[in-house]
Chain A
Amino acid sequence: MSRIQTLFQQKHKRVLNVYCTAGYPELNSTLPVMESLQANRADLIELGMPYSDPLADGPVIQQSSAIALENGMTIARLFEQLEGFRDRITVPVILMGYMNPVLQYGFERFCADAARVGVDGLILPDLPEYEFETEYGAIIRKYGLDFIFLVTPETAEQRVKKLDKLSSGFLYAVSSSSTTGSNKQMNSVQDYLQRLESYQLKNPVLVGFGIKDRESFDAACAHANGAIIGTAYIKALEGAKDVGTATKEFLSTIV
């Protein structure tokens, strides 16, 4: 059983997944940020691999990616930083990024290195299910990694079920049709989350996009297994003198 599956066996409610950008705010912040997230009750860590053209992201995460790239972050350097991180971090870790840098690194080499250092799963929002089924899914499975698809309020029932079937670990329910960090209201998502609940999916559901405080976290958790916070946390790290303190202060307002 994967580390992510084990987590959801032990915890069904209010699972907190926090997104951070690798190499942000400083090149060598990656590990300290991850350690502080674990220390402050994050159940999962979603580690973003910076990309020059992050289509699904709003301005805040784009900016953190641009800074990380300026800091010199690359996939190769990230795997160097992650070498041996399992000695210090026990929570599941997911790599999130876009196809182009992963293809350039070599898809299989990427999966092999991710599995070797102790990464548990992948989110690649621009890897479509056709290519997943015909080409990449087998490679991901070969290295024992979970793969998490996204669904949105606009995703039709049959498609939600299909993407759930293809996913392992959890299913990522995007709260509204938007890029990350949008201000669309959370209360309108209850119908959608209840609808997902009624499908009796095989995977747990985590809600992301627009989760920024306790209120939105509570709203997301009402009809899902937990939620994902990204933009609000990146904002909290902006200009922080000490990532540990910033993380502690931020997460104390959520859980």
Chain B
Amino acid sequence: MNMQTYQQPDVHGYYGRFGGAYIPEMLHPNVEELQSRYLEIMQEPSFQLEFRDLLRDYVGRPTPLYFAKRLSAAYGTNIYLKREDLCHTGAHKINNTIGQILLAQKLGKNRIIAETGAGQHGVATATVCALKGVECIVYMGEKDIERQAPNVARMRMLGAKVVAATSGSKTLKDATNEAIRDWINNPSDTHYIIGSVVGPHPYPDMVARFQSVISEETRWQLKEKTGSELPTHVIACVGGGSNAAGAFYHFLDELSVQLVAVEAAGHGVNSGLSAATTALGKPGVLHGSKSLVMQTEDGQVVEPHSISAGLDYPGIGPLHANLFDSGRGQFLAVTDEDALRAAFDVARTEGIIPALETAHAFSALSQLSLKATDQVVICLSGRGDKDLATYMKQMEMMGI
């Protein structure tokens, strides 16, 4: 029998009982082409060389692993922040879009489509398309276009066409549906850059590999700082789960490392306004893979709620569903209110304004019993500029 591995899916894209490629036949040629070629292309020396060069000179990697002294003191432990917020465009999302645009070029695709919720993945996609001079169409829910005007402007300035998804609940899930429909209608020239570890096989594995640079760097950086490559905990927020997949990746099969995935509880896990998929979801099929899905008794996908648009997704990557199922990962949920509090704490303790998504990961610190000898890595997945409107509203309420 093979050793259990949490890192890689089987040949059909399954992590345990989750994954696969539940796609209509119209998508088969595109998905099969990716399945049969992604590993070979990613391992080509010319691909690796350009990917590494761009990550270094364009994205600004390696991102620092920063020992957060005052935050550590506040929690009586040792906290290291993996500074993905310092990546070009302000979040980890660009690690994946750089990888996928290079892959798209190797596949000879000259038209790029993407979905976006808050706009971070859309901006990261528009950025790499501008970099490569490739046509870019970003699908975004009509409601999100209204809520995220600055990111819509960024994408347009970068030359992308932003198309409103007007079906269903008019948010991320529907933007994803529209992107998939576009792909069905454009079977030969188009590559779909999915922004998270979701979608049909090979997307979860491919995106996790592109994001795995986060934990690859963390290992040697931690060794430089502490003498050991292995922390006791890695904490990351999870919507679809791309930053968590990257932060966990090289620790997945190191069983001494506790992997803490933090979901958005919204108004509270049982409030009816939540996005805590592992707590509320049931096995199902969404956007081409089997995973945990928030749905009604009749199997209709429900609209989640989180103050953070990046966590506002009714599914979760199959890799994470398997971590939950197997007990390898610890899943916590943090409310809107607690995430906001954590954002202000971090801002004032470390001088770093985190994205609302990342604030959920910080809030999990207070749910864990951490020891003075623990070495905790938090994936600081993005910066908070995009969330200023929400933070300003909060300051008004707090009388700041």
Residues 161-196 (chain A) with a chain B CB within 8 angstroms:
163, 174, 177-179, 182
Say which residue of B26, B167, B287 sits within 8 Å of A59 (CB atoms): B167
- Point out the residues of chain B lying under 8 angstroms from A52, CB to CB: 168, 300-301
A125, B286: Cβ atoms under 8 Å? no
Chain A residues with Cβ under 8 A from B57's Cβ? none
Which residues 295-329 of B sit at the A interface, judged by CB distance below 8 A? Answer: 295, 297-301
Q: Are A53 and B26 CB-contacts (below 8 A) given A75-B299, A100-B295, A128-B20?
A: no
- Asked if residues A125 and B25 are in contact (CB atoms below 8 Å), the reply is yes
Chain B nearest CB from A86 CB (Å) reads: 25
State the CA gap A105–B296 with chains docked (Å). Answer: 11
- A191–B213 Cα gap in the complex (Å)? 48
* B21 proximity list for chain A (CB < 8 A): 128, 130
Instruction: Specify which of A76, A100, A127, A131 lies most central, judged by the most chain B CB atoms within 10 Å of its CB.
Output: A100
Interface size class of A (residues with CB under 8 A): 35 or more
Contacts of B167 in A (CB 8 A): 59, 62, 66
Contacts A126-B23, A179-B184 given; does A104 touch B282 at CB 8 Å = yes
Chain B contacts for A53, CB-based, 8 A: 168, 173-174, 177, 286-287, 301
Bound form: Cα–Cα A155–B297 in Å: 35
For residue B174, which residues in chain A have a CB less than 8 angstroms away from its CB? 53
Q: With the chains together, A159 CA to B184 CA distance in Å? A: 18
How does the 8 Å CB contact mask read for B135-154 relative to A, with 1 for contact and 0 for none? 00000000000000000000
* B159 proximal to A (CB < 8 A): no
Inter-chain contacts of B177 with A (CB < 8 A): 53, 55
CB-CB under 8 A from B168, the residues of chain A are 52-53, 62, 66
| A130 in contact with B12 (CB, 8 Å) | yes
Q: Are B285 and A178 in contact, CB atoms less than 8 angstroms apart?
A: no
Query: With contacts A52-B168, A100-B299, A104-B299 known, is A178 near B23, CB below 8 A?
Result: no
Tell me, yes or no, whether B185 is within 8 Å of chain A by CB: yes
Q: What chain A residues lie within 8 Å of B301 (beta carbons)?
A: 52-53, 100
Judging by beta carbons under 8 Å apart, are A55 and B24 in contact? yes
Asked if residues A103 and B284 are in contact (CB atoms below 8 Å), the reply is yes
A163 contact set on B, CB distance < 8 A: 25
In the complex, the chain A residue whose C-beta lies closest to that of B168 is A52
Q: How many residues of B contact A (CB 8 A)?
A: 36
Cβ contacts under 8 Å, A56 to chain B: 24, 26, 184
With the chains together, A50 CA to B251 CA distance in Å? 42
- Please, what's the 1-or-0 string for A93-116, where 1 marks a CB less than 8 Å from any CB in chain B? 000001111111100000000000
Using known A-B contacts A126-B285, A150-B26, A155-B28, determine if residue A177 contacts B184 with beta carbons closer than 8 Å.
yes
A152 is an interface residue with CB less than 8 A from chain B: yes
Of B28, B173, B177, which is in contact with the most chain A CB atoms at under 10 Å from its CB?
B28
Cβ–Cβ < 8 Å partners of A177 in chain B: 26, 184-187
CB distance from B62 to the nearest CB of A (A): 38
A69 to B29, CA, bound (A): 32
Q: Which residue of B lies closest to A153 (CB)?
A: B187
Q: Give complex CA distance A118, B3 in Å.
A: 47
Question: How distant is B182 from chain A, measured CB to nearest CB, in Å?
Answer: 9
Q: Is the beta-carbon distance between A55 and B180 smaller than 8 angstroms? A: yes
Closest to A130 in B: B12
Residues on A with beta carbons closer than 8 Å to the beta carbon of B184: 55-56, 177-179
Q: By the criterion CB–CB under 8 Å, are B23 and A128 in contact? A: yes
A150/B24 in contact, CB under 8 A: yes
14 chain-A/chain-B pairs, Cβ below 8 angstroms: A51-B299, A53-B177, A101-B299, A105-B299, A126-B24, A126-B288, A128-B21, A131-B20, A131-B22, A152-B28, A154-B29, A156-B29, A178-B26, A179-B185
Q: Which residues of A contact B (CB under 8 A)?
A: 51-53, 55-56, 58-59, 62, 66, 69, 74-76, 98-105, 125-128, 130-131, 149-152, 154-156, 159, 163, 174, 177-179, 182
List 6 A-B pairs, minimum CB-CB distance, nearest first: A104-B299, A101-B299, A125-B24, A150-B25, A177-B187, A74-B298
